[in-house]
């Protein structure tokens, strides 16, 4: 599989997951309406609208939700020039647009990429990983995260994470 196949596959997977989610939530609304003795079609319509809003919201705002959950703050060149230039050099070498860079104050070593496409990508590292890795090791981690950006893995992962979280919240409400 080459990169073009991977990108196309990830774009199709995202659409498939979003459509499946809408169908699943609409069906849940219908079943809930039947079980509660209400008008099942009206529950299904409400669930359908809610599922569409959630799917579109997860597509456009999943990165913001993930960054808020990680309590990450955006980093500029003035804040951390060495880290900024490391990311900048790797994106230039890979032919990607410069992503936004965030740092999360967390002692555990971790890094992730999020966003919906390379133009709206974010790369985030924890303070823990910045403290323990040397420059070459950190370049390897950031290059790995940028490969997720380039392959559109970030879109699939972000949409799935938000939609699965939504289903978990719904399960709690039903219980």
Residues labelled catalytic: 145
CA 19 to CA 128: how far, in whole Å? 38
Q: Are 29 and 170 in contact (CB under 8 A)?
A: no
Total residue length of the chain: 175
Which 3 state secondary structure label does DSSP give 55?
helix
Half-sphere exposure for 149 (CA within 13 Å, toward CB)? 30
CA dihedral 95, 100, 101, 104 (to 10 degrees): -140
Q: Which structure tokens are listed for 146?
A: 């940028």
User: At 157, phi and psi to the nearest 5?
Assistant: -65, -45
């Amino acid at each position: 599989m080459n990169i073009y196949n991977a990108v196309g596959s990830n774009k199709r997977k995202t659409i498939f997951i979003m459509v499946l989610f809408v169908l699943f939530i609409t069906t849940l609304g219908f079943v809930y309406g039947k079980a509660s003795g209400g008008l099942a079609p009206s529950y299904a319509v409400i669930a359908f609208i809610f599922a569409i809003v959630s799917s579109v919201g997860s597509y456009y705002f999943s990165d913001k939700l993930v960054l808020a959950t990680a309590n990450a703050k955006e980093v500029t060149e003035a804040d951390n020039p060495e880290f900024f230039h490391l990311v900048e050099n790797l994106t230039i070498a890979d032919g990607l647009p410069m992503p936004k860079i965030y740092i999360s104050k967390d002692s555990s070593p971790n890094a992730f990429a999020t966003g919906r496409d390379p133009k709206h990508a974010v790369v985030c590292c924890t303070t823990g990983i910045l403290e323990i890795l040397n420059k070459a090791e950190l370049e390897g981690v950031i290059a790995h995260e940028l490969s997720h950006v380039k392959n559109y893995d970030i879109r699939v992962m972000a949409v799935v994470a938000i939609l699965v979280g939504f289903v978990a919240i719904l399960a709690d409400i039903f219980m």
